[in-house]
């Protein structure tokens, strides 16, 4: 991720040729590509000679050049509505379709989270929490706990 971010910043374009990519990596001090790696990169480019910076072909090459730093890309991660498999999924794509992290909680886990004093308040500024007072936050948590105990999960999977 850091390598791709640095490369993107150096190129300042959504597409680049193999020599431009190799030059940017060399200027950044990340890699002086060998002739074999450069030939691989040139071979990965479509007929236009330009590789999409966030495309599958460049991601595969970056994994070959930086196997420890760049994860092996999955073709499925680069497919979207148009069927073009050379771009990242759109932000509107389903999270679960892209990653393999389970996002479920049991009813007991939800109740435990509601009962703790250290609930997640990262969405609210500290001044707003202080202004409302901790009592208001606890009252809201108690109300949510009562609703959860009564069977209302507000659309959450439990």
With vertex at residue 97, the alpha carbon angle to CA 95 and CA 98, rounded to the nearest 5 degrees, is 70
The domain spans of the chain are 2-94, 107-149
Please give the Cα distance from 124 to 26 (Å, whole number).
43
Q: Which residue has the higher pLDDT, 64 or 89?
A: 64
Token couple for 123: 């969405």
With vertex at residue 68, the alpha carbon angle to CA 62 and CA 70, rounded to the nearest 5 degrees, is 35
Residues 66/41, Cβ–Cβ less than 8 Å:
no
Per-residue pLDDT of 90-143, as tens digits, reads 555 555 555 555 667 778 887 787 777 555 555 555 555 555 566 666 777 777
DSSP 104-152: ---HHHHHHHHH-SS---TTS-HHHHHHH-HHHHHHHHHHHHHHHHTT-
Q: What is the pLDDT of residue 104?
A: 74
pTM: 0.48
Please give the Cα distance from 145 to 91 (Å, whole number).
33
Q: What is the pLDDT of residue 158?
A: 46
């Amino acid at each position: 991720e850091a390598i791709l971010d640095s490369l993107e910043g150096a190129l300042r374009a959504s597409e680049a040729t193999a020599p431009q990519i190799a030059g940017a990596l060399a200027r950044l001090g990340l890699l002086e590509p060998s002739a074999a790696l450069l030939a691989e990169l040139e071979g990965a480019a479509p007929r236009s000679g330009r590789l999409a910076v966030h495309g599958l072909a460049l991601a595969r090459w970056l994994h070959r050049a930086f196997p420890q730093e760049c994860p092996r890309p999955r073709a499925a991660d680069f497919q979207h509505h148009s069927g073009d498999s050379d771009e990242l999924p759109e932000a509107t794509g389903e999270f679960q379709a892209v990653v393999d992290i389970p996002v479920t909680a049991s009813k007991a886990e939800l109740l435990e989270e509601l009962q703790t004093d250290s609930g997640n308040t990262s969405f609210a500024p500290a001044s707003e929490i202080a202004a409302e007072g901790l009592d208001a936050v606890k009252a809201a948590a108690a109300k949510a706990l009562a609703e959860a105990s009564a069977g209302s999960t507000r659309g959450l999977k439990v």
